[in-house]
Structure 1
Amino acid sequence: MSTAAKTPSGLAEDSSGLAPVLIFSADDSSTATIEVYSVATRVCAVLLVLYAMYFARSLFVPIVTSMFAYLTLRPIVRQTRKFGVPPSVSAAAVMALLGGLLALATYLVIDPARDVIAEAPANIAIAKERLSFVIEKIEYFNRATDEMTTTDTDGVKEVNEPVPVEVKLAAWSTNLSILNGTGNLVSFLGVSGVLLYFLLATGDDLLRNVMRALPTLTARKQLIGVVENVQEGLGSYLAQVTAINIGLGVAVGLAMWGLEMPTPVLWGVMAMLLNFIPMVGALCGALVIFLVTLVNFEASYYAFIVAGVYVTLTTIEGQFITPSILGRSLEMSPVLVFLSVVTWGWMWGMMGVFLSVPILIAARMVCEQYSGMKSLAAVLGGRVEET
């Protein structure tokens, strides 16, 4: 009977020299168990955080919006401080500029948008009539499906006449829902605006206080790196994308004016705003343009022409202009971008859709600063030094 001697590598070598024997120690098993528990704990922590952000979305959405706006506009306040301008004054000037731009955009689109909303019921009826050849096919398919599902086992069709029920909402309830929506918008703008002003005016002081609370110099350097990295990435991305989207809005507005579309300014502003949503925004804009053209022109084929022009402009922007301007430093996987849009749109609604790409960029920038998250940064497309 041969004996085995333990080697330094953890293998036991047979005295006959024929084959090594693998020996597992109790330490190896406990280490693997600890790693599994650690991963499970992190997954549970992430799920709990996401649930809290979904449950308290009315609180988190304005806060996150203000934080991203602060990191984007912070360099302006810091530059004005070099010229002796107090942060409170420069923050007030920035807020006044943002308010003026918002008021100008509202003034340009409020009348056309009001007309479109007022004519929506009649336009929907016209669109149904123009698309009757498609709707008839869908209704035929639905009837065939219902007939298959309502046939019993003997082949005798069971006819269940639906009972028509008409529900009319009281006028006060409709007005209340409109007031609730307006109140939510006003509260969102109010909370975001006030918080953004205080962040611009005193955010650096708050950041210094947080740094003093950190225990080590390494942690402080990492925090500075995270803030600077996120600020640089978000500022560069939002500034360049905003300029590109303004150009796209002007191009779409001119194209709609040339195609004799009504309210071309409205469609230009719509294209600019929707283009902040990758992939999904262009499809939604093309659908809206198609329906509006279908309603306002007799020839149905003209709707395909106008929508095709819109899709062509957004495709040129998305495939050639944006990649050449942003460069590879801010390129992201379309799969991750789409998943981010879907996830945050489901959690936070329309504002989550607009914030999805900035959140993805911020997550990548944060992961680049911590050694334990380098692998996640590489998955997100970040810059990771190869060793």
Structure 2
Amino acid sequence: MQDHSLSTPPPTLKQDVVADEVEREPPSRKVDAKLVVLACLLVLASLTAAYLASAILLPLVLAFVLKLLFQPAMRQLERISVPRGLAALLVILAFFGLIVGLGAAVSGPAAEWAGRLPQGLPRLEEKLHFLSRPIQTFQNFMRQMGASSDPGIDFLGTLFQGTQHFASGFFETVLILFFLLMSGDTFLRRTVEILPRFSDKRQAVELSQQIEQNISIYLVTITFMNTLVGLATGLTMWATGLGDPVLWGVMAFILNYVPIMGPVAGVAIFTFAGLLTIEDTVMAFLPAGLYLVIHLIEGEIVTPMLLAKRFTLNPVLVILSLIFWFWAWGVAGAILAVPMLAIFKIVCDGIKPLHPIGHFLEG
């Protein structure tokens, strides 16, 4: 008997390719529009509250970031059986003792450079006489816009406007930092105890570990690289004839915590210092050029190689974050901008409904 059923023809090459592409196509992301809108509204409300309550929130955020920075040191002290309270006190004393020591070391050279300014300005104007007309035009434009006749005063006032909150909250920062280091994982344990489901408990622990590990590695790596930049800058400035290597090294170390804006300010400062110190106009730009080379090697080659696998933030959002937090909290806000943006991205990556926001933040 003949089989009258239709035999299935063998698949063609085109069908195989289409089927293979369908199998390889990644699953579509399911976006909860309501949750994304609520998250955006929450972010806007949080930014508004951060600006209005900067005197309270800045010490708290700074203490939290410093806690993440000091966490590896706390782990090492706990391994050698040092009590947590004593370990926290030792870490804080060592950190702020280092700050006081560096401040005392650079205060003398900084005052000396400030004393040179009145005598050095006529020489600077003579060297930059070809820029006199553009500068005068700019000053006239600023006067017409209602600005002050002395842009330098306005700039310094803007630069340290938010820093006053940091100075006034210094004691609060130290106090909060001490108790955060002492508490350890207490808040995480309480959070795990409150959450009803086991999956939520596990997600909270994993998210906390990711934030602590990634941000600690980021802060330690950046601090180490900034230390190398400070050492290289100090030696370079000493070799070019500017002198005061400790002053320039500390300045480069601090400025390198602020992406983009810090190095730009450093180039301007070294240009100004070179013109005041070095007689030859061409050689006066050498300190700024060498500092720029050091920054490019560190910022474009070494640091991305160390952190690219952990942090891939959108550079446009980094710039916007720097501008906002500098406006809201001053210099301290600019330093904290990237760590806060990285923490927010880690939280979005760890919570499934917020994955689209984390994907948007990715570089």
Output the TM-score relative to the length of structure 2: 0.79
Identical residues among aligned pairs (%): 31
Partner of 2:357: 376
Q: CA deviation at 1:200?
A: 0.5
Q: Give the aligned partner of residue 324 of structure 2.
A: 343
CA deviations 1:7-57 (Å, max 9, x no partner) are: xxxxxxxxxxxxxxxxxxxxxxxxxxxx87765554433322211110111
Spell out, residue by residue over 1:238-288, the C-alpha distance to the aligned partner (whole angstroms, 9 max, x if none). 111111111111111111111111312211111111111112211110100
- Cα deviation digits, residues 195-243 of structure 1 (max 9, x gap): 1111111242233223323333332222212211111111111111111
Aligned to 1:56: 53
Query: C-alpha distance in 2, partners of 1:319/1:203?
Result: 36
Does 2:303 correspond to 1:306?
no
Given that 2:313 and 2:361 are in contact with CA atoms closer than 8 Å, whether structure 1 keeps it comes out as yes
What corresponds to 2:125 in structure 1?
A: 128
1:326 aligns with 2:323: no
Pick aligned residue for 2:100 from 76, 98, 103: 103
**Counterpart amino acid of residue 332 in structure 2:** M
SS of 1:329's partner is coil
Which of 66, 70, 73 is matched with 1:73 structurally? 70
One-letter code aligned to 1:229: Q
Alignment of 1:82-231 (within 5 A): 82-139=79-136, 186-231=167-212
User: Which ranges of structure 2 fall in alignment gaps of 5 or more residues?
Assistant: 1-31, 149-160
For 1:279 and 1:182, the matched residues in 2 are separated by 19
Amino acid at match of 1:242: T
Bigger radius of gyration, 1 or 2? 1
SS at match of 1:133: helix
1:367 and 1:376 in contact (8 A); partners too:
yes
- Cα 1:82–1:314 change in 2 (3 A) is closer
Task: Note the alpha carbon deviations across 1:83-123, whole angstroms, 9 max, x for none.
Answer: 43221111111112112211221122111112223333444
For the 8 Å contact 2:84–2:182, the answer to whether it is kept is yes
In 2: Cα distance, 1:310 partner to 1:364 partner = 32
Q: 1:41 to 1:357 in 2, by over 3 A?
A: closer
Q: Is the 8 A contact 1:69 1:196 kept in 2?
A: yes
1:255 aligns with 2:236: yes
Unaligned ranges ≥5, structure 1? 1-34, 148-166, 168-179, 383-387
- Structure 1 window deviating more from structure 2 (181-190 vs 193-202): it is 181-190
> Residue 292 in 1 paired to residue 273 in 2?
yes
**Size of the alignment, in residue pairs?**
317
For 1:92, give the aligned amino acid: L
Structure 1 residue 366, shift from structure 2 partner: 0.8
Instruction: State which drifts further: 110-119 or 35-44.
Output: 35-44
Tell me if the contact between 2:322 and 2:337 (Cα under 8 Å) persists in the aligned partners. yes
- CA distance in 1 between counterparts of 2:118 and 2:143 reads 29
User: For residue 361 of structure 1, what is the aligned residue in structure 2?
Assistant: 342
Residues in 2 aligned to 1:181 and 1:115: alpha-carbon distance in whole angstroms? 26
* Matching residue of 1:12: none
- Residues 252, 268 of structure 1: 8 Å contact kept: yes
Q: Per-residue deviation at 1:60?
A: 0.8
- The SS at the match of 2:241 is coil
2:263 matched to 1:282?
yes
Question: Which structure ranks higher in relative contact order (CA pairs < 8 Å, sequence separation ≥ 6)?
Answer: 2
Superposition RMSD in Å? 2.9
